[in-house]
Structure 1
Amino acid sequence: MKLKNTLGIAIGSFVAATSFGALAQGQGAVEGELFYKKQYNDSVKHVEDGYNPGASIGYFLTDDVSLNLTYDKTNHTRSNDGTGHQKIKGDNFGLNAQYHFGTVGDALRPYVSGGVAHKSMTNVIADGHSGRDQSTFLTAGAGVKWYITDNLFARAGVEADYKLDNGKWDYAPTVGLGVNFGGNGGKVAPAPVPAPAPIAEPEPEAPIAEVVRVELDVKFDFDKSNVKPQYAADINNVADFMKQYPATTTTVAGYTDSVGTDAYNQKLSQRRADAVRAALVNQGVAANRVDAVGHGKANPVASNATAEGRELNRRVEATVQAEAK
């Protein structure tokens, strides 16, 4: 019956993970997990090591930090050393915080954890009689989560528990399978695009002004945001044009190819736009005249199905126009 219940929970979790399109990692996400650990019971005398099934639920306070409630059941272990080979049972409750390394959307996210736990065991031999051992532990752990999809992950790690009663340690290598849902996906709100300034209607008698413009198209290497030296002349040309027409402003727009997650490409495209903006400012253009906006992998100019097309899509674009006097 216990096996059927566990399978039912696992299948239900998988269905939930694959049924909701709005599920995401990041701040605000909830993670639920079923795990199984090898429990080395070194802090209690006359108790064999065991295998403990358990479950946890956590909430991401930020993109990287989660707070987790855990429960596992002492199972598959007995007393030893001439104490009757009694079956040991118990309950373990814990609260811990996890810090995740890397970026939301990465397939592998290592983590470290720390917290507190309360554990109890029945039929523990102490002072010549059987009873219940109840203790408080400080916990520390480390491991890695593999996000098989944005919402389904597997975990492998190890936990060390320090028993405050006698200063001894327990250890527990652990594997788990879980679901993640409800977060912001690591996305940040894009920078607002300034509204264009209204253009005054010319007087009927005035001659029609000639509009002059200059365009900028900077390409980037895969997963890079540094501006290559070959585009220095093009950037200088745009900077000279803006200095010639001091009333002009522009917005540099950054893009990526389709490789990688939406969250990562959004940040990469913003870094590329910021790099071109910085190059224009370094050439003497006032910072308040240049905005930078990342658009991720939106608006491709070529097919992402080929290497040549992806190379064309890794770009920053800008246009500046003015009325010639």
Structure 2
Amino acid sequence: MKLKNTLGLAIGTLIAATSFGALAQGQGAVEGEAFYKKQYNDSINDVEDGRRPGVSIGYFLTDDVSVNATYEKDDYTRSNNNTGSQKIRGDHFGLKSQYHFGTVGDAIRPYVEGGVSHGSMTNVAADGHTGRDQSTFLTTGAGAKWYITDNLYARAGVEADYKLDNGRWDYAALVGLGVNFGGTGGKVAPAPVAPVAAAPEPEPEAPVAEVVRVQLDVKFDFNKAVVKPNSYGDVKNLADFMKQYPNTTTVVEGHTDNVGPDAYNQKLSQRRADAVKQVLVKDGVSANRVHSVGYGKSRPIADNSTDAGRAANRRVEAQVEATAK
């Protein structure tokens, strides 16, 4: 009963922790998790399969690589060789590293892992005698994490433990629930925007020059960063204007709706801005005259609660001004 209460308290703490605004994934994040394993024993004679709940704490060295310290409690594993229904108890302490595939902000991130652990189990001797088995294991495994929110995730995976003492294997299937906090969130600083030189003031009594302007508004499909063919003409108009006025520059600004994690939308908006820049360059504008920057979902122009509003927010905007002679 104490074990169940402890595990329940740990899970409740993980869920409550998601209310803190400082939580974030990515490099520098600390990750805490409570998990439950179904253990299939083969490394110790006369011991049946059991269960192994535990907790772990990890630190992300990069956006993809974490180092994790683990503690696991052997529970309800039984001797089965004429020794009755002895209950086996034990502790496992481990250190492992996980490599996560995909990018920060993805809803599902598969992983592989490897490491070492040390276990100590009581009451494992046969013929009614008690004893303690202390062993070192090499551990490997794989699985996936599902990020329910930016910071709360569920995990499912499989692990295999190789016992160095006798060259035999144990196997486990596991599920877990965890949170992470304190990381960068995978966000990168927006690209610097080139300053636009102000037009010189006209001399007194001189006629005011006419300022001409071209604006661009390209829409994108949901979760896409591909310029649609029906927008090529608008992009070409902007390119022709910039070729007509070779001293002009422009900033191409990418935006998204509010569906999905912040970090993912930031990267998606940058890809959209880069896609429009590539079309401008293909149409003959020098790359150093076009700067692209993504703003994610931070600058909506319409209500994200409607389909039409979200469609309006999935956009890339740009404008160019020039002084006509």
TM-score, normalised with respect to structure 1: 0.92
Q: What is the alpha-carbon distance in structure 2 between the residues aligned to residue 42 and residue 243 of structure 1? A: 73
Q: Distance in 2 between matches of 1:237 and 1:74?
A: 69
Q: Tell me the residue number matched to 2:59.
A: 59
Counterpart code for 1:102: G
CA-CA distance at 1:271 after TM superposition: 0.6
Which amino acid in structure 2 is aligned with residue 156 of structure 1? A
| Structure 1 residues 93-122: Cα deviation after superposition (integer angstroms, max 9, x where no partner) | 111111223332333322221111111222
Alpha-carbon distance change, 87 to 127 in structure 1, aligned in 2, over 3 angstroms? closer
Deviates more, 1:62-71 or 1:305-314: 305-314
Is 2:31–2:59's contact at 8 Å kept on the other side of the alignment?
yes
The residue aligned with 1:231 is 231
Question: Which range moved further: 59-68 or 128-137?
Answer: 128-137
1:16 maps to which residue? 17
Q: Offset at 1:132?
A: 2.6
Equivalent runs, 1:138-157 vs 2, <5 Å: 138-157=138-157
Matched with 2:192 is 192
Aligned residues: 324
CA 1:3 to 1:300, structure 2 compared with 1: closer, same or farther past 3 Å? closer
Q: Which residue of 2 aligns with 1:305?
A: 305
Q: Secondary structure at the match of 1:76?
A: strand
Structure 2 match to 1:118? 118
SS in structure 1 at match of 2:125: strand
State the AA in 1 paired with 2:222: F
Q: Secondary structure at the match of 2:308?
A: helix
Aligned residue in 2 for 1:251: 251
88 and 148 in structure 1: CA distance in 2 versus 1, 3 angstrom threshold:
same
Give percent identity, aligned residues only: 71
Amino acid in the other structure paired with 1:75: D
Q: Distance in 1 between matches of 2:300 and 2:236?
A: 26
Q: Is the 8 A contact 2:214 2:320 kept in 1?
A: yes
Would you say the 8 A contact 2:196–2:249 is kept in 1? no
The 2-side partners of 1:2 and 1:221 are apart by 50
Q: AA paired with 1:4?
A: N
What stretches of structure 1 of length at least 5 have no aligned partner?
A: none
1:188-231 Cα offsets, whole Å, 9 max, x none, are 11112222324333221432111111111211111111112222
Report the Cα distance in structure 1 between the residues aligned to 2:249 and 2:322, rounded to whole angstroms: 9
User: 5+ unaligned residues in a row in structure 2: which ranges?
Assistant: none
Q: Could you list the per-position Cα deviations for residues 26-76 of structure 1 after superposition, in whole angstroms to 9, with x for gaps in the alignment?
A: 222111111121111101111122111211111112222211111112221
Partner of 1:218: 218
Letter in 2 for 1:8: L
Letter in 2 for 1:285: V
Cα distance in 2 between the residues matched to 1:197 and 1:241: 18
Q: Pairwise CA RMSD of aligned residues?
A: 2.1
CA 1:150/1:234 → structure 2, altered by over 3 Å: closer, same or farther?
closer
Listed one character per residue, the Cα deviations across residues 278-322 of structure 1 (whole Å, up to 9, x for unaligned) are 111112211111100111123322222222222222111111111
Note if contact 1:83-1:125 (Cα within 8 Å) is conserved in structure 2. no
Q: Which moved more, 1:162-171 or 1:100-109?
A: 100-109
| CA distance in structure 2 between the aligned counterparts of 1:180 and 1:33, rounded to whole angstroms | 9
- 1:76 is aligned to 76
The CA deviation string for residues 68-90 of structure 1, in whole angstroms up to 9 with x for no partner, is 11111222122221356543222
Question: Residues of 2 paired with 1:317 and 1:248: CA distance?
Answer: 16
Whichever residue aligns with residue 113 of structure 2, its letter is S
CA contact (8 A) 2:257 2:314 kept: yes
- For residues 248-289 of structure 1, the C-alpha deviation after alignment (integer angstroms, 9 at most, x for no partner) is 111011111222222111111111110111111112211111
Q: Matches of 1:37 and 1:29 in 2, distance apart?
A: 25
Q: 1:102–1:109: 8 Å Cα contact kept in structure 2?
A: yes
Q: How far apart, CA to CA, are the structure 1 residues paired with 2:107 and 2:261?
A: 10
Partners of 1:284 and 1:147 lie apart in 2 by 43
Distance 1:123 1:210 in 2: 92
